[in-house]
Amino acid sequence: MAVNKILAFFLLMISCNLYFSQDVTIKDDKVLLDGKQILKAEKINVAQYSFFSMKNDDEVLLYRYMDNETPSYVSDDYFILNFLTEKVKVESTDIGKIANFMNSKKGMEKLVKWLLKERVINQEGELNPDRVAIFKDKYNENITERTLR
């Protein structure tokens, strides 16, 4: 009996998650949310992506992956999210939030989903300054300031 209840609850959670999930894809340098373009994307290289506003073509977000000058040692790797229009930089070692090995485009799709979930970006692709500040408080690890060079 308890197993049936747990199974029913699990199936309900999966169906709700699938129902409320948003489809984010990057295709032809366009960031699409459920088929509607919300941002423009530019892959600079394997470790960098830029995202641009649809309204005025301003660069709103720069993503950079840093190997901390130790390419063979991945435990010290981190990424930087630079919200350019808000002048906010977030450095984090939580690579699992966006990791997708061997396909940076899929990783950037995960990044946009994460920013949508945290309400940093709204449905129109605009940054929410209050949520950017909260996002920084939650995830910023100040890696550059803590690292001796």
The 3 state secondary structure assigned to 35-69 is CEEEEEEEEEECCEEEEEECCCCCEEEEEEEECCC
> How far, in Å, CA of 32 to CA of 47, rounded?
21
Query: The pTM is what?
Result: 0.80
pLDDT of the residue at 140 = 94
User: C-alpha distances in angstroms, 2 versus 5, 13, 15, 130?
Assistant: 5, 17, 20, 44
Q: Check whether 18 has a pLDDT greater than 50.
A: no
Cβ 22 vs Cβ 32: under 8 Å: no
Nearest to 68 by CA among 101, 99, 92, 44: 92
Q: Check whether 94 has a pLDDT greater than 80.
A: yes
Residues 6+ apart with CB under 8 A from 29: 40, 41, 42, 43
The residue-averaged pLDDT of 34-38 equals: 93
pLDDT of the residue at 98 = 84
Q: Residue type at 28? A: D
pLDDT band at 15 (very low <50, low <70, confident <90, very high): low
pLDDT band at 148 (very low <50, low <70, confident <90, very high): low
